[in-house]
Homo-oligomer: A and B are copies of this chain.
Amino acid sequence: MPHELIDRHQATLDSALAALAARDYWSPYPESPRGYGEPVALDALQGRSLLLDQPGSDGQIGPDPADGGERSPYGPELRVAYPHAGDPEALVAAARAGQPAWAAAGPLLRAAVCVEILARINARSAEFGTAVMHTTGQAPGMAFQAGGPHAQDRGLEAVAVAYAEQTRLPARADWTKPQGKRDPLVMVKEFTAVPRGVALLIGCNTFPTWNGYPGLFASLATGNPVLVKPHPRAVLPLALTVAVAREVLAEAGFSPDLVLLAAEKPDEGLAKTLALHPDVRVIDYTGSTGFGDWLEDNARQAQVYTEKAGVNTVLLDSTGDYAGMLANLAFSLALYSGQMCTTPQNLLVPRDGIGTDQGHKGFREVVADLSAALDRLLGDDARAAALLGAVVNPGVLGRIEQAEKGEFGETALAPRAVAVPEWPEAVVRTPALVVLDAADAALPGECFGPVAFVVAVDSAARGTELLRDTVRERGAMTAAAYTTSPEVEAAVVAACLDAGVSLSLNLTGQVYVNQTAAFSDLHGTGANPAANAAYSDAAFVASRFRTIEVRRHS
């Protein structure tokens, strides 16, 4: 199957496959903005209309907020118009129409087309960064990196895992079974990976590309057309993605309708409608536990992959680098105002304090020193804004205000309003630290946003138990621990293996518990209630296709 796109991208695919096996650092998409051209200003995006000629549309969304147009968490209206998916049947039918040719293209050509889509997205990373910033509230640097190259990494990873799994069986095999003195039985067998049906991606508000690309590309690479249902507040990054995908598909001779935007106005319930469509056979979702559970319970005709909410826990037992620990934790709590599914929330500290390279530190000292570390990190408004980004929605702001009022317990570090001169309407707040004692109350449940809890526990052993119980009962995307004790370390590792969460141990440098690297770290495990899958292991792709065998005498 010679094809120019295969020639162009075979080396990238091979490198990705090698990286997946080695799990060392690797990326084809440089993460520094240098080399991607000038930053793209918001007004370069405003006023556009995207994809209005798509099938299944009965009008448009935006550009006015009254018509569903997005408003940036930094203040401005986005002023972009999209097609309104008023005819779900037509969307599904259009998606299905392109499927046979896409299925027949085979795993390698599909992978090459997907890598070309990612390459074109990569070339426009500056534009995607601005789109992500003004839909999620991420600060510009993070929006570029997490919304651009790092999201592309996760997309390419999914393409590579999908390719690997689809090619475990040879396309053709000869089978020769000896029959003693008689002639052997000889058969020729052909194995073809076939898609499951139409896939549905339900995007989230905070990481539309990073959390969206694994499912989108895993489904597309395995032959399934994909309906992309963005969060109504974060349409632009996925609409740009869909536009690039459609352009590449059409140029490669396939139906552009293999990737369709399915945009709605808030609260139209389009995700539910599409999720229950009998032709929709794969669903990827990131968002609230409530809707994730609804999908798992109701979209029974589909293979459903969900990433829902959890409570991420850190156990502090002891450290050989107290300053490094505090700085690392402060950064993790501050990054994107704690609005990551991976941000630590409950910090468990023995009531008697912890051992450190600076001597024993009492519980209250730890709280004070962590507060000071946050103050140092975020004392300068410009630097704070570059780390915090903006509060993404009123729900998060409400929880910050609850912390301010002491409604969660004793607020040891109050949130501070940060002014961003360039975006006067942006709501920016430093994290709050709330102090609790596990002897007095149950551990806090999920509290999404910049509110962390420092919880006094009886001992490291009790903290380990609480960590395990939290993962089991409430789910977790991440766990972390600080300890210099081999016994405590072994117990925490055992608890994490048992409860099913990945563990970051003694992070004191520039690696943070809330960040995972594609091709090396798995994101999520699928083993606890926070998510039923991981980016991207074999289980994430292997059920998106089936293998059909045709056999005959040779």
A residues sitting closer than 8 Å to B (CB atoms) are 20-25, 100, 103, 165, 168-170, 173-179, 185, 187, 189, 191-192, 194, 196, 296-297, 300, 493, 496-498, 500-511, 517, 520-522, 525-527, 534, 537-539, 542-543, 546-553
Contact = CB atoms under 8 A, between A and B. Distances in A.
A25 B546 CA distance: 22
A297 B297 CA distance: 9
Closest 8 pairs between A and B when the two form their complex, measured CB to CB: A23-B173, A527-B546, A505-B552, A539-B542, A502-B549, A25-B177, A538-B542, A539-B543
Contacts of A175: 23-25, 517, 520
B191 A23 contact: yes
A507 to B, nearest CB: 7
Given A176-B24, A497-B548, A521-B549, A165 B506 contact: no
Given A496-B550, A511-B185, A534-B546, A170 B522 contact: no
A170 B21 contact: yes
Number of this chain's copies in the complex: 2
Contact of A552 (B103, B506, B526, B548): B506
A273 B270 CA distance: 37
B505 A551 contact: yes
A178 B25 CA distance: 9
20 contacts: A21-B168, A24-B176, A173-B520, A175-B520, A189-B520, A192-B497, A496-B548, A501-B548, A502-B548, A505-B551, A505-B552, A507-B552, A511-B551, A521-B549, A521-B551, A525-B546, A525-B549, A538-B538, A538-B542, A543-B543
Contact of A189 (B498, B506, B510, B521): B521
Nearest to A23: B173
A498 B546 CA distance: 11
Contacts of A521: 189, 549, 551
Interface SS of chain A: mixed
Given A185-B509, A194-B527, A502-B548, 16 more contacts: A21-B168, A22-B170, A23-B173, A24-B173, A24-B174, A25-B176, A175-B520, A493-B550, A497-B548, A502-B549, A502-B550, A509-B553, A511-B551, A526-B543, A527-B546, A537-B542
Given A25-B175, A176-B24, A297-B300, A547 B520 contact: no
Nearest to A520: B175
A251 to B, nearest CB: 26
Contacts of A21: 168, 170
Contact of A547 (B20, B177, B522, B552): B522
A525 to B, nearest CB: 5
A551 B189 CA distance: 43
A517 B177 contact: yes
A515 B522 CA distance: 39
Contacts of A550: 493, 496, 502-503, 505
A508 B503 CA distance: 58
